[in-house]
Amino acid sequence: MVIPVHDVNPVRGTPWVTYALIAANVLVFLTMPGAAGSVAGGDLARLCHLQAFMDHYAAVPRELIHGSLPRLVPTGEIGIGPHGPGCVVRPPSYDKSPPLSVFTAMFLHGGWLHLLGNMLFLLIFGNNVEDRLGHIRYLLFYVVCGYAAGYGFALFNADSADPLIGASGAIAGVLGAYLVLFPKARVWVLVPFLVFLPLRLPAWLVLGFWFGLQAVYSSGHGVSGTGTVAYTAHVVGFVAGMLLAWPLKPGTPDPPEPPGLLFGRRARPHYSW
């Protein structure tokens, strides 16, 4: 997998929504049970709190498709049962809305690698999509792609009770839009080949390769077991982003072709609607 580090594609203004989304994701992650210092106690205490948190705020395919909520959920407390210590379960003390859980799940991540990888892609490719759509439309676009990815994954896993979390589906929509709007933009990437080789490649190659991998993995090929990554959500989000961005393609000029190595802004294009 190539690692994008920078795109050669100037923007006209500050991508405030992209920055706000990154800040919100980081802030939520730092307050999640299991983050450093967020829960006192040992591993079992953190696990019980995390399970209770996920059952409350994560999207669960079975709940989204069938609308059936569990009768018993973890409370976050530790108890002693016939087989030793474990997490206490009771009837939920809250009313969970499955459709709303798709939104809250977009800001939850399973670890630092999950969070930083998503935020890297959002930072590199989100600014230009926001610049083209405008702040409000970009925010709506991001949420719609996240919902499409969440429900798309649930349709293919209707009986699954495993929680679905992460901004990957919404960010996949951003990548799909970038591919449609700026296929010729140059992207600096690091390619692992003995060492990390820096290369400047066209966006259609970088994002097309990424989408191809997600499609292959979602079919069960190239991965061992089902894994914990919702590749199907990535595929659905990417396609949704492409379809939503397609009407704007005719009015989007190509980014300037950099003469040699280029970092930062070199031009400020004017877009027509």
pLDDT in tens, 232-251: 999 999 999 999 999 999 98
> What pLDDT score was predicted for residue 260?
54
State the pairing for strand pair 186-193/73-81. Answer: unpaired
**Does pTM surpass 0.85?**
yes
Residue 14 neighbours by CB under 8 Å, 6+ apart: none
Cα 9 versus chain centre, distance: 22
pLDDT tens by residue, 188-240: 999 887 778 888 999 999 999 999 999 999 887 545 444 578 999 999 999 99
Cα three-residue angle 119-124-130, rounded to 5 degrees: 95
pLDDT tens by residue, 243-273: 999 999 998 887 876 655 444 444 444 444 4
Tokens 């704007």 found at: 248
CA distance 106 to 24: 10
CA dihedral 63, 66, 72, 78 (to 10 degrees): -30
Q: How confident is the model at residue 35 (pLDDT cuts 50, 70, 90)?
A: low
> What pLDDT score was predicted for residue 258?
63
pLDDT tens by residue, 126-139: 999 999 999 999 99
Query: Cα-atom radius of gyration of the chain, to the nearest Å?
Result: 20
Q: Which of 4-18, 75-89, 196-210, 221-235 has the lowest mean pLDDT?
A: 221-235
109 or 255: which carries more pLDDT confidence? 109
CA distance 63 to 57: 12
DSSP secondary-structure letter at 250? G
Which residue type, as a one-letter code, is found at position 174?
V
Cα three-residue angle 92-52-19, rounded to 5 degrees: 120
